[in-house]
């Protein structure tokens, strides 16, 4: 995953005619990973545009990926990132086999280890807000040290500290950064605030 700051922007609901302006604002703010969930309007069109314009500056791909067939579709338009809300071993293995970065969503230690066994090296606790920082700390204690755990869902600029102390490698953020109707300027301002909060918490 991108090194600094380790934030994945989730653009759920983004449209192809706005994705480039929004992505430009995110990249300018210092965010280096962008996912377009597959339940967004024409997601493959948006992902293709993203990869063509920002593939050298950010890790771009799809979220809410539920099948190996969709992995192929995302790879076909240049996507390098596959994010899932669940543990599907077939999806993970297929994405890993294509050389993509896969970030499957887990809740329990059993799910986390199933993902790791399938080849995932970046996991996301989802929805993180339901489980809390203590849960992620306990799971991290038993996972291989080379496995990164991200917190996604209910984590943002206002509550970063306990998650960072629990040892998250990074976060995924959706509605705090982007919702349908937000302008690129609004997204840029929100992204800068989030990056500043992360930097402040991790350099203390």
Residues annotated catalytic, as ranges: 35, 124
Query: What's the CA gap between 114 and 165, in Å, rounded?
Result: 25
Q: Find the helix or strand (DSSP H, E) in which 20 lies.
A: helix 19-29
Helix and strand numbers, DSSP H then E, in the chain: 9, 9
For the packed helices 19-29 and 43-54, what is the interaxial angle rounded to 10 degrees?
Answer: 50
Alpha helices (H) along 98-202: 109-117, 128-131, 133-142, 160-166, 184-202
Contacts of 186 by beta carbon, 8 Å cutoff, 6+ apart: none
């Amino acid at each position: 995953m991108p090194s600094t700051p380790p934030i994945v922007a989730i653009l759920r609901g983004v449209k192809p005619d706005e994705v480039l302006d929004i992505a430009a604002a995110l990249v300018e703010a210092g965010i280096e990973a962008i996912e377009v969930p597959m339940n967004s309007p024409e997601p493959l069109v948006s992902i293709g545009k993203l990869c063509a314009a920002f593939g050298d500056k950010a890790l771009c791909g799809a979220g809410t990926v539920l099948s190996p067939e969709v992995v192929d579709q995302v790879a076909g338009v240049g996507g390098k990132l596959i994010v899932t809300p669940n543990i599907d071993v077939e999806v993970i293995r297929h994405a890993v086999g294509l050389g993509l970065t896969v970030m499957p969503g887990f809740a329990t230690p059993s799910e986390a280890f199933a993902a790791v066994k399938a080849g995932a090296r970046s996991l996301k606790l989802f929805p993180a807000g339901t489980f809390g920082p203590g849960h992620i700390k306990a799971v991290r204690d038993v996972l291989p040290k080379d496995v990164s755990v991200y917190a996604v869902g209910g984590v943002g600029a206002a509550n970063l500290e306990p998650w960072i102390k629990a040892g998250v490698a990074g976060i995924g953020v959706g509605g705090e950064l982007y919702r349908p109707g937000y302008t690129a300027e609004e997204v840029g301002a929100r992204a800068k605030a989030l990056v500043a909060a992360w930097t402040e918490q991790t350099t203390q």
